[in-house]
Structure 1
Amino acid sequence: MSQLLQAAATPAGVFQVERPRVIAFVNRKGGVGKSTTTINVAATLGHNLTKHLTPEQRAEYQCEVVVVSVDPQGSSLGWAKRIQNKELLPFDYVDASLEAGLIQDLIEDGYRYILIDTPGWTPPDEDTWDGMDDSKQATVLRAVLDMADEIIVPMEPEALCYEPTMWTVERTMRAHPKPFRILINNCGASENDVDLRNLRRWLAKRPHWPVFRSTIRGYKLHSRAPEQGVVCTEYPENTIGLKARGDFADLTLEIAMEPASRSMAAVSS
């Protein structure tokens, strides 16, 4: 990996841009790995932006990656607060669950990446223009979708994830047409895994949905990390630890070097 990302990760940041990249992790279904992916992408981006720094430079370094939670459950915030090695934490974290306007302040604060962890939601009883209700949580999520530059939609290779993901893309992403990509998360370690093959066939029937080449395999390290207070860049350097790290390294490289470009606006209803 990492030669390309290292080349991009100059002391001034991965990209020389005036405005940060605002990336939201969104799926109507809960439990698909939005928090896990947000935190570990932030950790990997931050690690690649800071590993070249000397201790003196690190002391003066202004963090360039921030995790923003708009999830009332605060899963990603709770995880970030439990991270043991706070001095080496390569990202900041902010609670914006009650006030999405905080994100606009962060856009003006000099960050390179703003990664937003969002909650799942239950479809309203009555049909609405974007598949969300008029609650405070929905209002915050709409503001996030309006501010985001791109959306990552994590989904797992299980049947109960298909319909909520379809709703997220065909209803919510069509109403808020931002560039997006599907991320296959928590999948089997082999491409021959039956559930993964079924999901790939299902996605192939939707060629207008862009899908990451990278996948996140379902290692137990990922599910244990929040309680242990570690992130993927701190996983042990054994076979499984390096594979689990490598999945997020590959995903982060793809995010950094290939911004999403296709939205549902280009697809006819």
Structure 2
Amino acid sequence: MVANQKGGVGKTTTTLNLGAVVADVLKAGGNGLQHVFIDTPGSLQDENLLLEALKYAHDVIVPMPPEGLAFDPTARTVQKVIEPTGLPFKVVINNWDPRDGRADLEETQSYVDAQGWPRAEAVIRRYKVHTRASVEGRVVTQYPKNRVAMEAREDFFRLALEMGYGGRA
């Protein structure tokens, strides 16, 4: 399950692209369906929907962009909704633009670590190709073969491996 009560943190992009790379890996290995990814609403008012979806989850990915406005809603989601369930979860820093330097990334990593939350080592970088793909109805496994598309795809493969979806890192 991919969850954060803040809208615009990349839940849908993460859900679709993580599902696509996992399906691609499993299809190549012939293992069939092993994972279902649930995209959840991004609203503090939809807490009951989130709680209902959590009943069916085995783990939770919490995408969090490296921007201060995401800190409080992410904390609320983790502390008031996810942690009480006892489900394993990881915060994934999402939508980081390397062109902005490492300061925002490192500040967000420090914040997550200071909260004592498990944090994925994989970071999902911001690429324009993600925006274009959503408009075109594509996922990372369908991007044109070029350097940027391969790097974008690689972020989701690293996350899938780290989470144990389709293999172990």
Q: Same fold (TM over 0.5)?
A: yes
Evaluate the alpha carbon distance shift between residue 221 and residue 205 of structure 1 in structure 2; reply closer, same or farther with a 3 A threshold.
same
For the 8 Å contact 2:2–2:38, the answer to whether it is kept is yes
Tell me what 2:108 maps to.
199
Tell me what 2:81 maps to.
172
**2: CA distance, partners of 1:51 / 1:174:** 35
User: Would you tell me which structure has more helix in proportion to its own residues?
Assistant: 2
**1: CA distance, partners of 2:52 / 2:60:** 13
Per-residue CA deviation, residues 191-226 of structure 1 (Å, 9 max, x unaligned), is: 9422112212212312x2000010100011112111
Per-residue CA deviation, residues 68-115 of structure 1 (Å, 9 max, x unaligned), is: xxxxxxxxxxxxxxxxxxxxxxxxxxxxxxxxxxxxxxxxxxxx1111
1:159 counterpart = 2:68: yes
**1: CA distance, partners of 2:109 / 2:99:** 13
Q: How many residues align?
A: 167
For the 8 Å contact 2:51–2:81, the answer to whether it is kept is no
**C-alpha displacement at 1:138, in angstroms?**
4.0
1:49 counterpart = 2:26: yes
- Higher alpha-carbon Rg: 1
Taking structure 1 as the reference length, the TM-score comes to: 0.58
Q: What are structure 2's unaligned runs of at least 5 residues? A: none
**C-alpha displacement at 1:242, in angstroms?**
1.0
**C-alpha displacement at 1:247, in angstroms?**
0.7
1:213 counterpart = 2:121: yes
User: Would you tell me which structure has more strand in proportion to its own residues?
Assistant: 1
Tell me what 2:154 maps to.
246
Matched residues, percent identical? 37
Tell me what 2:12 maps to.
35
1:222 counterpart = 2:130: yes
**1: CA distance, partners of 2:9 / 2:47:** 19
For the 8 Å contact 1:191–1:197, the answer to whether it is kept is no
Taking structure 2 as the reference length, the TM-score comes to: 0.89
Q: CA RMSD in A?
A: 2.2
1:166 is paired with a residue whose SS is: helix
Q: What are structure 1's unaligned runs of at least 5 residues? A: 1-23, 54-60, 65-111, 124-136, 259-269
Evaluate the alpha carbon distance shift between residue 202 and residue 52 of structure 1 in structure 2; reply closer, same or farther with a 3 A threshold.
closer
2:36 is paired with a residue whose SS is: strand
**2: CA distance, partners of 1:31 / 1:247:** 19
Instruction: Give the residue type in structure 2 aligned to 1:243.
Output: E
**2: CA distance, partners of 1:38 / 1:170:** 22
**1: CA distance, partners of 2:154 / 2:98:** 13
**1: CA distance, partners of 2:83 / 2:42:** 17
**C-alpha displacement at 1:139, in angstroms?**
3.6
Tell me what 1:122 maps to.
44
For the 8 Å contact 2:113–2:119, the answer to whether it is kept is no
